[in-house]
A = this chain, B = another copy of it.
């Protein structure tokens, strides 16, 4: 068997594996860094919804590039690692053996499907959203001549796909267990707005219900309908299960790495597993929340990238002390012209977790000023704030495109442990064509409102 020696072996070529490789090489230019990935082409994960409609139009347009890794001299191999000899530090793929010094798992995630529906996944017309070019191509091709599409799951991916299909002229229904869509990232009043906009774009939402059966009436292995818990039966030519993901840890489990909650690989703040030379990054890890430190199911390429940067600089000792102390759950999406964004905990979640030890500060404004400026969009900022100390625990924004970066400001505020007392007099740049007025910048006003609540 062919044997090769590398310094760092990374299993997986998604955002986590790619960023980890680049970061590792940048910090250790003299080391041999190798990435083994299963697929030659890699989809940018969050672009997947947009290949189905008018936004990206083709699957090809959703592909990422490995140019940077190549330029930097990172070794790339195509193949599937089937086994690892942990004691002797050897990974096996195809008929090859790679002897490594450091190993990084970046094996990502696979769709989660409720046990009761798993057997239906073999029916024609039933799909999950696998982050795989061929599978996405197949799904897109299958839907070309179909009209009635059901999306199961009301998270970001489900909603984004639903809207793309609807805008391409298809008849789309989303089925979700919660009363309103996107309920993990948004409080009710904001989720309601998002849902209303989605419905305006022709997507119907069937909420507070769930699929108990996927029906193949004619026994011809082709899906016809779904049956809901409520008894409702809804016809469908295509059923897309967008019911979340789970860590892809078959290999990690097989070779004996400790798994944490939700089946993810256990890692510490520097993405180290219990084995001193083995790291894990991205969706395959057992994540926890930044604030609560409780297990988290959040799976985001941006979180994975942050983890990969931490791992990439910590392989040969902890170079930078800022580790990854949990995900701040930071999201944004766009429905029509309106952006919805969220960071940290929602009020609903925070109330539960802190036993109501929170206050809310919220403010409606505009994303331009003065009010007569063309193309102004309403802008809403809601802050979830600790009653005791004023630390900002979460924020939600409704606005125009700028909300996509406003949430990163709020995320930074959360990550750096700032309080409303820091924000109430923060300095911002304001400009008529670009932001709200300085006198009523909604983030600052929301902080002021929260202080008013705290002080009663």
> Which residues of A are at the interface with B, using a C-beta cutoff of 8 A?
15, 18-19, 23, 26, 44, 46-47, 50, 55-56, 60-65, 68, 290, 300-306, 309-310, 313, 320-322, 324, 327-328, 330-334, 339, 341, 343, 369-374, 400-409, 411-413, 415-416, 418, 421-422, 424-435, 437-441, 444, 448, 452
Are A429 and B413 in contact, with the CB atoms below 8 A?
A: no
Give complex CA distance A322, B321 in Å: 27
Beyond A401-B402, A404-B431, A405-B434, 11 extra complex contacts between A and B, CB < 8 Å: A26-B448, A44-B370, A44-B432, A46-B369, A46-B432, A64-B439, A309-B424, A320-B421, A334-B431, A334-B433, A403-B405
Residues of B within 8 A of A303 (CB): 427
Q: List 17 A-B contacts (CB under 8 A).
A: A18-B439, A44-B370, A50-B433, A56-B432, A301-B430, A301-B438, A306-B426, A321-B421, A334-B434, A403-B405, A403-B434, A404-B429, A404-B434, A405-B405, A405-B406, A407-B429, A412-B413
Give complex CA distance A409, B403 in Å: 12
Residues of B within 8 A of A439 (CB): 15, 18-19, 64, 301, 305
Shortest distance from the beta carbon of A212 to any chain B beta carbon, whole Å: 33
Shortest distance from the beta carbon of A417 to any chain B beta carbon, whole Å: 9
Residues of B within 8 A of A47 (CB): 369-370, 373, 432
Give complex CA distance A408, B339 in Å: 18
User: Which of these, B416, B418, B421, contacts A422 with CB under 8 Å?
Assistant: B416
CB nearest neighbor in B for A405 = B405
Given A434-B339, A434-B404: A416 and B415 within 8 A (CB)? no
Are A44 and B407 in contact, with the CB atoms below 8 A?
A: no
CB nearest neighbor in B for A311 = B425
Residues of B within 8 A of A310 (CB): 425
Give complex CA distance A95, B332 in Å: 57
Are A62 and B26 in contact, with the CB atoms below 8 A?
A: no
Residues of B within 8 A of A440 (CB): 68
User: Which of these, B62, B332, B406, B431, contacts A332 with CB under 8 Å?
Assistant: B431
Are A434 and B332 in contact, with the CB atoms below 8 A?
A: yes
Are B55 and A433 in contact, with the CB atoms below 8 A?
A: yes
Shortest distance from the beta carbon of A314 to any chain B beta carbon, whole Å: 10
User: Which of these, B46, B339, B343, contacts A430 with CB under 8 Å?
Assistant: B46
Are B431 and A426 in contact, with the CB atoms below 8 A?
A: no
User: Which of these, B60, B332, B370, contacts A429 with CB under 8 Å?
Assistant: B332
Most buried by B among A26, A303, A432, A441: A432
Given A409-B412, A416-B418: A331 and B432 within 8 A (CB)? no
Residues of B within 8 A of A426 (CB): 306, 411-412, 415
Give complex CA distance A334, B430 in Å: 12
Give complex CA distance A193, B434 in Å: 19
Residues of B within 8 A of A306 (CB): 425-427
Residues of B within 8 A of A412 (CB): 409, 412-413, 426
Give complex CA distance A427, B408 in Å: 8
